[in-house]
Amino acid sequence: KTFTISSSGTISQTNSKKHTNSFYSNDSFIHLNGTTYVLAFRGPGDDGFISTFKITNDGATIELLKEYEHDTGHGDLHRIQKMSDSTFVVMYKDPSVTSLKTFHTTADGKTITELKKAVLYDSALLGPAIAMVDENTYLFAGGAKDQDGYIYTYDIPADGSSITKVAEKEFDDEFSDYHDLYNAGSNSFLLSHQGTNNKYGYLKMFTVPANGSNITEIYNTNFNNNVTGMTSLEKLDADTYALAYQGSGNDGYISTFTVKAGDTVLPVISFVTVSDDNSKVVATFNEKVFNT
């Protein structure tokens, strides 16, 4: 579905399109380039699927370009991250392990090709999350061995030709689920998750150098003692973040935080896209850029 949001906050549905008869939870959706979007999901037969869509800027057109079954055994808990205008990495649970896969799509979005696969963890990773460190380094988080919290760095070039583990860190030795990661800039990353007693909510900050060689926890706060479901982080301005989560009574909550990462590392351009008619160039940075 597409929506428009007016300056006064009024939300109106623009379009809706049914793309499959069998769709389950834990999907992941990204904007790849221009009018091309990518969805990874658990579909028919509980298998893993990736679909590409054309969605015009006004939201009036939603066109399914390609549906690709990437795992015929099982595919669940998908998380997807753009690497370049034509490549992306997917983390998901197949029948017995949590895997990473890289994919390439053609410019028209009608062909999807699997490039490389690697095993991240030998079972289901609880509440998986992904963030980009730089153009060839990625951060992954989830509940792994003994359901403890782990965070990993991997080297993955933009062409998706290889997947190499660099480092890992255990950040919660009791329990960890419902993770979300956010690049806060200056090689700093926010992590929200459910931790101790299977219900306490935590917001942590880690520093990770561009090459991913080490992961250092620099901040940890217990923001709520009754987190019961998914968490989601979003940046509002230069140092304000909103965190949405399922809390007490399984109700929905939003909390805001002031977060100041050390401004020692300037933003860098991750992608440059030229429009089809060569009339404009769009530069995408590795973090959100603000003028205040």
Amino acid identity, residue 97? V
The full DSSP string for the chain is: -EEEE-TT--EEEEE-----S---S--EEEEEETTEEEEEEE-GGG-EEEEEEEE-TTS--EEEEEEEEEESS--EEEEEEE-SSSEEEEEEE-SSSEEEEEEEE-TTS--EEEEEEEEEESSPPEEEEEEEEETTEEEEEEE-GGG-EEEEEEE--TT----EEEEEEEEESS--EEEEEEEEETTEEEEEEE-GGGT-EEEEEEE--TT----EEEEEEEEES---S-EEEEE-SSSEEEEEEE-GGG-EEEEEEE----TTS---EEEEEE-TTSS-EEEEESS-----
pLDDT for position 238: 86
Amino acid identity, residue 185? G
pLDDT for position 266: 46
pLDDT for position 198: 83
pLDDT for position 196: 84
Reported as a single tens digit per residue, the pLDDT across 259-272 is: 987 654 445 555 55
pLDDT for position 23: 85
CA dihedral sign, ordered 248, 78, 88, 64: negative
What are the sequence ranges of the domains in the chain?
22-122, 125-292
**What CATH code would you report for 125-292?**
2.130.10.10
pLDDT for position 118: 98
What pTM does this model have? 0.88
- Rounded Cα distance between 239 and 289, Å, is 11
- Residue numbers in the chain where pLDDT is lower than 70: 262-280, 282-292
